[in-house]
Amino acid sequence: MTTPRIPAAALAGVPTGVQAQGVWAGRRQLFVRFAGEAETATMYTSAALLKEISRQLGRTTIHSIAIGGRDPLGNLEFLTAAFASAPSPVPLMLDSDGQRPEALALIAPHLAMTQVTVEFVGPEGTRSSAIETLAAASGAGCPHALVLCPREDTTDSQMLRLIEQAHATSPETQMVIHPLLTGEPPVLDRRWSTLLEHAVTLHADTRLALRLTAPTGLR
């Protein structure tokens, strides 16, 4: 008789913390973080993860579970084994860079939020998959958000283009822009209020929000 294979994945941990960015920033969450190449990792089976989640929920109160880290949808079999068998006791949020839109359909029905975070790293063409992921979430009836985390060299036109594309894809998208602070002490440059003025003409549900910093904000 063949023994059923139990899906497993390398996790950087299952810590509690405060969400640093996005639509649920400031919420106390339990983070299921897939490990990157340089991170210390622990192998979890899907059953072990559920046991750990249950243990932590028995000890403390959290708003939701955030699934993130390196390439979470690259571990789709693990995620579906863990979260598709029974309703989660708290809301589930997937936070990814949107690079695997085709993988979202199987896990989307079990999510309370699909958050696509764009950090403006790499070729601009790769951001089309972020828009495709929003389309997949919308098609699955899953609430979804686009979170823009600009760098110093990110232009307003790059951000406005993404906002326009996201609105055309799904008018139900929630949009958050995390602006960069400048100066000493750090202040919010007028550039960002002007950007928001243009952004809300493209998509009314757009807001500016400051990111929390570590160690308070974990992601």
Report the alpha-carbon angle 18-21-24, nearest 5.
70
pLDDT of residue 11: 95
Along the chain (219 residues), what's the average pLDDT of each consecutive run of 10 residues? 74 93 95 87 94 95 94 94 90 95 94 96 84 96 97 96 98 97 83 97 97 67
In order of start, what are the domains of the chain with their CATH numbers?
8-218 (3.20.20)
| Nearest by Cα to 23 from 137, 122, 189 | 137
pLDDT of residue 162: 97
Tokens of 34: 């897939």
Please tell me the distance from the alpha carbon of residue 95 to that of residue 117, in angstroms, as a whole number.
7
pLDDT of residue 2: 54
Q: What predicted TM-score, i.e. pTM, was given to this entire model? A: 0.92
pLDDT of residue 214: 64
pLDDT of residue 184: 76
Yes or no: say if 212 and 20 are a contact pair by the CB < 8 Å rule: yes
Phi, psi for residue 124 in degrees, rounded to 5: -65, -30
